[in-house]
Structure 1
Amino acid sequence: MSVSSDSAKLAQSNTTNQTVTHPATNDAISNQNRSFSNFTKDVANSWLLPDGVVDVLFEDAHKQEVLRHRLTQQLITHGYQLVNPPMIEFTESLLSDASEDLKRQTFKIIDQLTGRLMGVRADITPQILRIDAHWGGTGIARYCYAGDVIHTLPSGLFGSRTPLQLGAEIFGCASLAADIELVDVLFTMVNMLNMSAALHIDLGHVAIFKRLAQLAQLQDVDTEQLMHLYANKNLPELKKVCQSLPMGDDFYVLARFGHDIANLLAKLSATAQQDHQIVTAIDELQRLKAHLQDQWQCAVSIDVTELSGYHYHTGIIFNGYINSETQPLVRGGRFDGMQSGSQLAGHQPREATGFSMDVSRLLAHTQLNAPTVVLVDYEASQSIDDEQKQLLLQQVESLRQQGYRVTVPLNAEDRPTNVTHQLNLVNHQWQLQTL
């Protein structure tokens, strides 16, 4: 009786232990689940790239490299010397005369060898200034380049922080002929890519506003306010502000009639109409616009209140837009007298003009011929003698020299996904056959 009672109690105890979970066990399970969830998130996050940073893969990577090569070769054939500056430099040379925008866009790091501050280039032009100060001499010099740059922030909502920047620059020529040569080279390049019909050029000239600001003896705060109003196209507020400024009517005229370059000068005050710098700037805009329309039959607009490069550019500026995109594909203009690198080399600043573009932006607007991808017949390649193997190697090398992509498989399962042709053994001869 007592044994049965003890057995019953033991059974009841076992049943209770099976159905009741202690709080400590719940906490352990919860922590384990949380740890596994965090581990899963960490694994997933480890594959994420920073915003504005992407992989360029496979056919896009091939297309980008082909475009880079074709465009740089086009520049070289026009007499531009190819240069390849380093990704990092000491900030004394890289940012010595840089705008605040460029300084903000530049990653800074400490040189572990010297303890000095270095910058990861966000633009290649300051490096070209340094190169010209050291190697350029006093005559006209032409440079071209193509290289990666790194930005701290993307330009635009979906802009890249790692553009492949390609550009061309002319040093030592102050005349409009240099600017005309550059736009001609630019259109030759986009013509080669069958894109010229889609390229719209927007011209400006920062010297007009700069000279008016000098004549009116504007304070920096007034200059910045006008530039802000121009950028926002706020004509009512601009008109109100201009009423209290010296030569205010001229600043309002720039926004009101700045797109009509043929009649702009007549709308300005007598003081502005008689100023040599303003007259020259308007004449340069008219001549460059006429050249673009006559030579390249392209769409051209003018906006003399486009001052986004005010602290950098000194004369003609131009932006190239493709189709209906809001961010320019090409940016260019004159930057005479920049000091970057020149002071360090004891070199006098020079006249300069140039343009640059992001090659990666071209990927969506260009088409290359579809590649011919050849696969060697694996079974046949395994059943041939040494003489046939030598003939196969010769055939493969010949096809590769002709531009074919030839894969010699390592096993029967080794097969690219985009094969278009196969190299088969037919009557003891290797023949290229379409799939």
Structure 2
Amino acid sequence: MSYRLLSLLGFIFSFQITHSQVEQELNPPDYIKTITFQGQTNESQLPILRLGENLLLEFDVLNGNEDDFYYKIEHFNYDWTPSQLMRTEFLSGYDNQRIRFYENSFNTYQIYSHYMLRLPNERTRGLKVSGNYMVKVFNDLDELVFSRKFMVNESGVGVGVAIKRSRDVKFIEEKQSVDIVINSNSMLLSNPTQTVNTVIIQNNNLNTAIYNVKPQYSIGNELISKYNTETSFFAGNEYFFFENKDIRGANSNIQFIELGDLYNNYLFTNVARRNRPYTYNPDINGNFLITAIDVEKPYIEADYAWIHFSLLMNKLPNNQSVHVYGNFNNYAIDESTKMTYNDKHSIYEVPILLKQGFYNYKYVVVNNATGKLDEGAIGGNFWQTENDYKVVVYYRDLGGRYDRIIGVGQGNSVDISN
């Protein structure tokens, strides 16, 4: 084989790697609701597992057809481009199997089937390597219905996380900065400025994650990152919340209830807080929990209700829209979350079909032309806001074929300092 041909093949290969498409999660159609995805730490979205730990994916299908669904698992690089590994290199057993475990709802106005996928199982016996993964769910026509990301950690290094006020004076009242110390006593990290990548995630929301954070300098076995602007996030505000575990009676932040084909829960009208003083209000940082009173199995006995959200605010220009935002739908923005303006009452409002439980949510503004989202346009950004942060450390040795996750650290801004 000639040198010219080898060079051409090398160029094509490197071009494909460089220009690989970043994989995005696909959100489900309207008849699939309440996707919960958790590892042994009970996170309802974006689980980060240790190698060998269990994973549970659950979702409801509201069409009453008891459809068949199948799942596949794929491995990705740190930036969510496809990895070079063959399926047999990262998966023990096989996937592309039917999800066999489901139960139908019991004693509910809204009929649904509740599906459960546990990993590992007797067919998919486990994952062999660390890194980024995605589970994809298909219908019986082999059409992709939805997908969800998760991560597997092999815990090779310690990761220290400290939350600071922004060092940029312009944003000192609005942003929080994340400082990172990677302790590599237990493993040798060669050429870390080239081989180590770090991703920072705020409140389990990959849409706002900061990628490609490199160590600034090292002291002994510690790799340290203390950037001024590169690792800072807008702090946002505490989430609103409601609870409707008793679907027939008014609970936390529910004003009144009506029964039609399904229950309708009308929340108290919220107000914009951008220009108001910050007030601490404990939340679960955008998450949600399915719960219902007087039932043994909430996953099939909790009912669905139309939750009527309303926001008192002046009407925005036509090129902007207001959406309800939270982990209840994996921070997705679509027509179901879009609010319409009621000129008579000067409020934005929208009904969203949700399963009984405890929910966090906020309101965000979206530019209709660009799709750009502004989380602080309505709620404001306050440095005091309590947020969760996860720091995921990836390592690819020189000549390595995939990005290993060698450590995960967590921090919370309740301990923020200057």
Give the shorter-chain TM-score range. Answer: under 0.3
TM-score by length of 1: 0.19
Q: By percentage of residues, which structure has more helix?
A: 1
Give the TM-score normalised by the residue count of structure 2.
0.20
Q: Max radius of gyration: which structure?
A: 1
**Higher strand residue share:** 2
